Structure 1
Amino acid sequence: MTMKPESRLTDQQRFDWLRLTRSENVGPRTFRALITNCGGARAALKALPDLARRGGATRPIRVAAAEDIERELVAARRLGVRFVALGEPDYPPLLRQIDSAPPILALRGRAEALRTAAVAIVGSRNASAAGLTFAERLARGLGQAGYVVVSGLARGIDQRAHVASLETGAVGVLAGGHGKPYPGDAVPLMERMVETGAVVSEMPIEWEPRGRDFPRRNRIVSGLALGTVVVEAARGSGSLITARFALEQNRQVFAVPGSPLDPRAEGTNDLLKQGASICTGPDDVLTALAPVRSSDLGAMLETGGDPGEPLWGEQSLFGVDPESTPRTQAGDEFDDAGGAAYRTGDDAEAARERIIALLGPSPITLDELGRAAEAPARAVRVALLELELAGRIEFSGDRVALRATADER
């Protein structure tokens, strides 16, 4: 087997990637669309204000300042954190496969832990003694079988699973930045975790986590793992959000049965009714994941997997020859640096008007929207990119809806 040469971002590219991903309204989906349409992160940064204006932004979009990125890099070095980009050798292969993979991960610890088969263990912060004991035994058994244990560093089940897997490899995912770890009592645990495992975050180094950041973290917890085990979860628990993400990512979900009299078991018992695999011990997980670990999905952990669609303008990161790959479709212009210049033609402008008229507060699939708009696919993609940068739409999976205005909220 011929190994592809390792490709990494230059320091300047990494700086530009950080600026772009830290800019307003630029999430993982938008980041990829910007790179694809603009030719690279630097060109995308220059295009952001005009794109947002064309999308109907009522004020200038906030582009991350270079000074802020410099400060973040200094803070990262002080904490022993490094930034790993999507497609680089140290980026987790399984996480790269999810639709909302973070363009940049802030990593502290051993990257090898991110390339080892993993199982996520999540559950209640207000866990029962029985739930904590089970999480500990499960994590220890999975670790002894060669799995890294992933969780979200929260009190209760998460932290107990981390502690039990310290010797074999624990990976924690922060909801905030490395400089603002939450909860604060997890800091001593994190210091021990990075010796054999890792702690990762997609947020700025000094980011204080807010309520909406925890579901974002949960998609990374499940995305790093071949399967997710929910030990205890009340109805409406964040652990059930992690389970939902795992299903959307085509990963296996396990649930630990509990007493019908315990509210902390209502969520897990519901998962079992909905088809989750039962987990009464490590063997249940090991047996179910054995075929997955030896499948194409598991093979990605060994080979790094297929990097997927190249990010135009930075193709060398993915082992693609830029000169052999067309950057844009016919009709696009080019800037002085040779990258694809962004130009909105009549198709995109007409598509934008039709899309705005067709969208409402109820989500619609992208396919349905494209058919209703009767516009070329590229024009629809461009129009949606502009509208998203303007903050006028929001995505949920492959569905899109108009974002509610302040008056409508």
Structure 2
Amino acid sequence: MTAPVDDTTARLRLIRTPSIGPVSYRQLLARFGSAEAALAALPDLARRGGGGRVPEPPAVALVERERRQVEALGARLLFLGDPDYPMLLAQLDNAPAVLTVRGDLALLRRTPVALVGARNASAAACRFARTLAHDLAAEGASIVSGLARGIDTAAHDGAGTATIAVIAGGIDVAYPPENAALQERIAAHALLIAEMPPGTEPRARHFPHRNRIIAGLSLGTVVIEAAPKSGSLITARLAGEQGREVMAVPGHPSDPRAQGCNALIRDGATLIQTAADVLEQCRPIDARAAVRSPASDWGTPPPEDASDAERARIAGLLGPVPVAVDELVRQSDCAPAVVQMVLLELELAGRLERHAGGRVSQC
């Protein structure tokens, strides 16, 4: 008889299983009560979704090796629902199920503000970012950014030890390489956060996931120089979708690097010139206003089993164009919990892709 594994190992196996993302992880725990029970249910769920393959969880030895590796790096795993998990980030429907963190978690309890911008930023913009980060840190804010070249680097430098760096790869992988010393300094004296397992080299697909964490950790996002369609504008869009403040620093119309910021301001973002402008947007008028706790039940009801007719009806509404889950609920005339279960089954079967803004599409 196989000995049961501890809950931390089971949760890590669940989130490291192919086809299981942050949304399905949360729904599986809500439906089955524990990670071990959810793992046991995967074959049946994938079969119901019509998949030809069953998601294969990693071996216990592999995730235990990851746990030892994290500990050897001086870091720790932080699971969604843990007391130290960032409250603001936990509000997101697609909040990471587990983070690898190294450094001072007390920085999460300051006023978190994201500063992002162009990698090929001008000298003037880098100087402004450095000064703004310094002034915000002096007023009790923590500066959140992505450790990229340009504005991110300037923001981390200006904030000193009051900074939080969110990286796209593993917590032991320095990217870009020239920021290796800065990354180590932040890990030792501030806070370094990664969603990917240790040893993961950053890939293009990882950066949008990192950007959602940057926006999700922060009460507001300030963009300092950004070309149209840049990653910084993705972070700003995600912040807006999450109900957070979106702010931008204006630039000269003839500079392509200012076009993104100027467009944000034209579309309603707050124009920023000083740290006081930022704090006015991010700090509540009433200091007693509290961030809602991740332990509170703000989500949808746990998924419920669906009938074959309901499965066929919901699956028939899906296509290659992403559609909001709320729209599927309306058009299928099924309970939200039933729709969530069918989508979960389809995702585990490899037939569903989730998109930002609570939208889904057929694979």
Interval containing the TM-score (normalised by the shorter chain): over 0.9
SS of 1:94's partner is: helix
**How far apart in 2 are the matches of 1:328 and 1:176?**
32
Matches within 5 A, 1:363-378: 363-378=322-337
**How far apart in 2 are the matches of 1:363 and 1:327?**
23
Q: What residue identity is the alignment partner of 2:140? A: G
**How far apart in 1 are the matches of 2:23 and 2:303?**
19
2:90 and 2:294 in contact (8 A); partners too? no
Q: What residue identity is the alignment partner of 1:250? A: G
1:91 and 1:114 in contact (8 A); partners too? no
**How far apart in 2 are the matches of 1:107 and 1:368?**
37
1:71 match:
65
Deviation of 1:199 (Å): 0.4
Specify every segment of 5 or more residues in structure 1 that has no aligned partner in the other structure, as ranges: 1-10, 312-325, 330-343, 404-409
Q: Answer yes or no: is 1:248 the counterpart of 2:241.
A: yes
2:358 match:
398
Q: What residue identity is the alignment partner of 1:224? A: L
2:83 match:
89
Residue from 286, 295, 302 that aligns with 1:307 = 295
**How far apart in 1 are the matches of 2:84 and 2:244?**
21
**How far apart in 2 are the matches of 1:70 and 1:104?**
15
1:236 match:
229
**How far apart in 1 are the matches of 2:56 and 2:137?**
44
TM-score by length of 1: 0.83
Q: Answer yes or no: is 1:380 the counterpart of 2:339.
A: yes
**How far apart in 1 are the matches of 2:283 and 2:311?**
48
Deviation of 1:327 (Å): 8.6
Matches within 5 A, 1:337-356: 344=305, 347-356=306-315
1:259 match:
252
**How far apart in 1 are the matches of 2:71 and 2:131?**
36
Q: Could you tell which deviates more after superposition, 351-360 or 129-138? A: 351-360
TM-score by length of 2: 0.93
2:227 and 2:259 in contact (8 A); partners too? yes
Q: Answer yes or no: is 1:165 the counterpart of 2:166.
A: no
Q: What residue identity is the alignment partner of 1:391? A: G
**How far apart in 2 are the matches of 1:327 and 1:52?**
18
**How far apart in 1 are the matches of 2:11 and 2:359?**
26
Q: What residue identity is the alignment partner of 2:296? A: G
**How far apart in 2 are the matches of 1:293 and 1:205?**
41
Deviation of 1:192 (Å): 1.5
Matches within 5 A, 1:325-336: none
Q: What residue identity is the alignment partner of 1:84? A: L
Residue from 277, 280, 285 that aligns with 2:278 = 285
Deviation of 1:49 (Å): 2.2
Residue from 183, 203, 215 that aligns with 2:176 = 183
2:190 match:
197
* Partner deviation per Cα, 1:41-77 (whole Å, 9 max, x = no partner): 1111111122122212222323122121012112111
The 1:165/1:264 distance shift into structure 2, 3 A limit, reads same
**How far apart in 1 are the matches of 2:286 and 2:206?**
30
* Partner deviation per Cα, 1:232-290 (whole Å, 9 max, x = no partner): 10001000000011101111011010011111001001000000000112121122223
SS of 1:308's partner is: coil
Q: What residue identity is the alignment partner of 1:93? A: M
**How far apart in 2 are the matches of 1:239 and 1:377?**
34
**How far apart in 2 are the matches of 1:240 and 1:227?**
13
**How far apart in 2 are the matches of 1:293 and 1:402?**
45
Specify every segment of 5 or more residues in structure 2 that has no aligned partner in the other structure, as ranges: none
2:126 match:
132
Q: What's the % identity of the aligned pairs?
A: 47
Deviation of 1:381 (Å): 1.9
The 1:328/1:139 distance shift into structure 2, 3 A limit, reads closer
Count the aligned residue pairs. Answer: 357
Q: Answer yes or no: is 1:62 the counterpart of 2:50.
A: no
1:120 match:
114
2:6 match:
12
**How far apart in 1 are the matches of 2:328 and 2:282?**
38
1:315 match:
none
The 1:268/1:112 distance shift into structure 2, 3 A limit, reads same
1:274 match:
267
Q: Answer yes or no: is 1:358 the counterpart of 2:322.
A: no
2:115 and 2:222 in contact (8 A); partners too? yes
**How far apart in 2 are the matches of 1:293 and 1:71?**
47
**How far apart in 1 are the matches of 2:105 and 2:286?**
19
2:199 match:
206
Residue from 213, 217, 222 that aligns with 2:210 = 217
* Partner deviation per Cα, 1:361-387 (whole Å, 9 max, x = no partner): 222222321232233433322111100
**How far apart in 2 are the matches of 1:94 and 1:223?**
6
1:218 and 1:241 in contact (8 A); partners too? yes
